[in-house]
Structure 1
Amino acid sequence: MKNLRKWMTALTLVALFVGSFSFAGAAQAAGSGEQLIIINKKTNQLAFFDNGKLNSTFPVATGKTKDLTPEGKFKIVNKIKNRPYYKDNIPGGDPRNPLGDRWMGLEVGSTYGTTYAIHGNNNENSIGKYVSAGCIRMHMDDIHWLFDQVNKGTYAVITSSSLSFEQIAANNGYALNGDGKFTGSVFVNGKLKTMDDEIMSIDSRLYMPLREGFEMLGGTVNWNAKTMTVSAAVGGKTIVHKAKAKTAKVNGKSVNMTASRFVGNKLYIPLRDVSKLSGYTVKWYGEENVVSLIAPTK
């Protein structure tokens, strides 16, 4: 009977490990197969991601003023060839049509893809400039190619940023090849834990969701949206950290760390810096694909 119990316990542990690998792996595969478009108004460049990789970049034209081209994450809800320019009653496909002959409509507010779009042009010299009424213009050859590649329902992120396209993609929850959800197991003081917001592998580093991670360690977390600052208490330490900063205050003393980053709207910190901030011992067992966090001794 004792041997049977030992065997059943071992089988349960194996099932837990296999389950954590297979389900997280499936989620990563699904995420890496998605497409994403990013338009950076700061550089007037458009990036197209496919299957977890940056596929192509193109010059674009955006709004005459900063507010004309809206910023945010918008779904492509229609794809239209030869859309008429209704304002001046110019037929679709007409060389005078400022929309060109390809239109990928964005769901901005309740516009249903009829107001803002990624489209062609009737003036190739305008590309790269701030000249539009709000839409994103592309060279005709570029929009023809992109139109055929992009699936309806793909999201377009419009921003004005100094970050790389890869960083912007990761910050919006896009799983790049080599990045994605951690496919192993997490133990805290020897107990297996599950997380709603998984640990992520980004740029060959493991990142932990700050709020859920610290709360999992028995801590409390407060977020000041106005100052973009986290105040936390965990492991007998008080922590103050400004989002994306490379330092934190631990019990009033400055501690260097790798900058935190947003994945979607959640703030993540490098797992290896959890030890510096909280006092917990962080161990990584590569062969078993296991992360272990041990509370500091009192």
Structure 2
Amino acid sequence: MRKFICVLGLMCIIALGAGPDSLMAAPGTNNNARQAHIVIDPLKNRLTLYIDGSVYKTYPIALGKRETPTPVGDLKVINKYKNWGSGFGTRWIGLDVPWGTYGIHGTNRPSSIGRDASHGCIRMLNRHVEELYELVDVGTRVTIMGHVLGEPQMEARRLAKGASGADVQLIQHLLRNAGYFHGVCNGKFGPSTERALKAFERDHKLPVDGVMSQHDYLELGLVE
């Protein structure tokens, strides 16, 4: 198993070991001016709702598969809908992820709860998300813990044109800092990211395929 390296300043590891003292939400959220804060632990497939800095309730959840991981970091709720669409259960709580549409929602597949089974969203049992929906407002802070390259026991995923995620955004930052990438670090692996990666691979005597593989992670100093 390779060890992931934290790259300072690039949000490589987010909110590991967060406790009540670090879980104060931004003001202006929730009913009766209560401050709500959602914390998601991917290692335990668990969502914890804090109210005014104290644990209010915990829920089992399903998270993204390895190929389609759940975003990591500090986010916020940007919209809420009832019966948003087929497959999303009875409630949708949208998050401000820059590279795609992600949210906390219900499910018509309750057997998936407790596993990594989604396309990146956070699934809950319908009765649980209906309860959560009433306790959070637009603007509520959502912290998803973990490392952008995945869980410790896994290898970082291969990335190619068409991929998206926090790991793509991290690669873009590193390639930009090295002078190879000149686009927007938006977490979307497009043609400009592919060109930058190929140039990096060429200069470092790696296979030039524009696919982020383990040898590329090693050369960028992200794993050891």
When the two structures are superposed, what TM-score results if normalisation uses the length of structure 1?
A: 0.37
Higher relative contact order (CA 8 A, sep 6+): 2
Structure having the higher Rg: 1
When the two structures are superposed, what TM-score results if normalisation uses the length of structure 2?
A: 0.49
